[in-house]
Structure 1
Amino acid sequence: MNQNLRILLITSITLGTAWAIRGQFGHEQGAAWAGGIACIFFIISTGNKNWESVGLKSSLMGAIGWGLGGMMSYGVVVGYGRSEDLLNAGYGLVMLAVIGGLYGLLGGGLFGLGLEEGNSGKKVAWHHLFVEMTAGGIVFYYFIIEQLGILMTPPRSEAWAVCAGAGIALIYFMVRNSYQGALRTALFSAIGGGFGFAFGDFLQVMGYLSGIQFNFWNVMEYSLGFFGGLGMSYGAITGFKKSSPVPIETIKANPRTGWALFGLVFLIPLIVFQKSFLEKDLSSEFTKLGVSTSSTWAAISVGAAFLIWVILQLLTWKNYKDFCASHSFPERLLNVTGPLLFISYLLFSILLTGSYFKWGRLEQYLYILNFIFVLVLTFKVEKNGINTHLPDYSAVKTATIAMLIILLLAIIASSSHSPIPGAQMRF
């Protein structure tokens, strides 16, 4: 298989599947888990030793970036895209493109900066960056939302403005420091995420009109992840191909590797467990499934999820200790951590939805097929490094074409139906 196609497929399907799984959990922690998985699998698929040397750290940065977007509210905006009125439908799809673009910009940008460290051997001034992003988010929010009163999702949260301000600061940081590879990764992640979100809402409308009984909201989430992963991997491959990576010697275990594992494997899954299994009353979910002893099965799900989290910690700790003792290259550490995080997230989803107890949630079993396909592509198909023959498309031209397609989709969607459930009117 063509190596570029293989890398693009692995990253796209991984983030698509993980983002669809994220639909069961939501919020920042769910997005961070999905983003971290995709970043790890991208690095594994490339076989790039420079990137493997900073693989866990850059994946944690990518997880943080994708997770930051989780603060944005978009439920009402999705409803605008379901409107039969062209103005409202167009507004909805374009604003979803903005929201999806911010997901990709932050996730791809921070991940790309992590890759820059492996490529150049120079450390990114992360403390400066996060201060600038925080300041940018605060200033932009208060100027646009509080001062000018420009609202996207009234009466919902306007946290998109925080992400936009942080994203602008991130772009400025990359331009100022000549991080061209990271910048291209960020821009194409944004284009992919934005197009994927808008296209996903279009698919959701078409799915409803088809009458097929399926979770088309989850299709929308998969679309965001798939195209976001496609953009991120394409941007990284083409953004770094002209640079000359420094020679990387065998990397010994260091505290940063341990801290990256702590964030990816311990902290993010623990927050997901606490928010989704402890703070929620799962008995109501099992009642909907027609279970008479719903509280018992809910307790079983919570206990099983905690056991999975514990097993994840034990296996990761053993893998890390072996890595420290052998002073080996971190490839094996990545090869174990990525699949462990993926299968744990998948099992969390099955436990939360009760899909192990009763059939009916077809998408849960499609996650399993996607997971198996990704593993086969990643570990069974030969990898020979990055093939550098992908064409260098302009980010501006690509974004323009994507936006024109989105407007065309709005025309098709709005003219294809009368009022449908869930539609919202902004104007």
Structure 2
Amino acid sequence: MSKIGIIIKREYLNRVSKKSFLILTFLTPILFSALIFVPLWLSSIKGDEVKNVVILDRTGVYAPLFENTDNYKFIAGTESLEKYKSSDDKSVFAILSITDNLLENPKAATLYSEKQIPGELSRIVNQTLSRYLENAKMATYNIPNLKEIIKESQIKFEINTIKWSEDGGESESSALVASIVGMLFTVISYMFIMVYGAMVMQGVMEEKTNRIVELMVSSVRPFQLMMGKIIGIGFVGLTQMLLWAILTLTLIMGGQFLFMGGTVDAQMMQQGAMMSANGTMPGMAEASQEPAVKILGMLQTINWAEIGFFFVIYFIGGYMLYASVFAAIGSAVDSQEDTQQFMTPIMVFMMFSLYAGIYSMENPDGPLAFWCSIIPFTSPIVMMIRLPFEIPLWEKLLSIGLLYITFIGIIWFSAKIYRVGILMYGKKPTIKEMIKWLKYK
């Protein structure tokens, strides 16, 4: 086995065998799934306490409109507002005071409570009064069947978006779904490049501080040591991503079955797949289909295999580019505090890439999205937002070619800095000195 291979094996096995790696790898998908399903479960739990809401209606018109719910009981008040507010009776949670005709005076209704008014109670009161006032206002126009006319005139239009393939097949698509998928991969790419790039820098600094590197460079060249460390940690990242993807998918599918009770039957799934394949549904089934089946059909229009393939390609290129820079920085300094001077430009590039990806969601073929997906320092992140929109092949090849050529050049420069800085102690070099290191033979 080559020396680089031995270093790769050492870095990989040393990190994947740590308890922190195993705990983080298996715990993160559980936390991610919990963020999705725990709020859903908690929202389904109803409290046993029913809160009393007193209605003081001087007009006598609005009090009968309110109906009791699982959480609130509406009671007609018999005392004045001041007596209820000064009373020691804690059974009254809130007081709704209506002092005038709300059509003429919309400010005549006020909801009082000793505690903060919950959003659910405010929504019930607003919706109940709004429905009555709308009907009352329409009645003042003395137009027969005005309510039915307005209801029929309200049209919610949503354009159907259809994507066709080279063989003439059609499938329903969604720009929103494509944007969400692209944004998900953009954030993942950003996080992993940052996390594992910083891990390379931290590992180099630890070996330099502990003087272990002095023993290692006696048997291997600094370039071999740097490349072995970068590639080994990169394999750790790919392993963790693969495990996260498998575990997260398993947990989400299990949680979906648990919380939905397996209600999505096979026939509905088959209909969704058929609609995705040919873009049509017999009769009026399309108008009444379940949202989950519709989303399923749209998700099936995403070329997951292509996106996954290019995600790995761009992750490797982006990671190698930034990790080599991080390795050079780690070799040139002795402490974490000294890295800030050199890390600031890198962080600016990374943050700009993330925001460029976010702003490219609305126009994935615009100048910002195009150029940032071509420039090597931003393409690993920005290109992820464009891939679900099926950009031309030549753009992908050009972007990947420039990215890999650039990271090879950056590795060459970083290796020259690394071989000098890794054995230098007690002095924080300036950028001018690091440029001189590039000229050493």
When the two structures are superposed, what TM-score results if normalisation uses the length of structure 2? 0.28
When the two structures are superposed, what TM-score results if normalisation uses the length of structure 1? 0.28
Rg: which structure is higher? 2
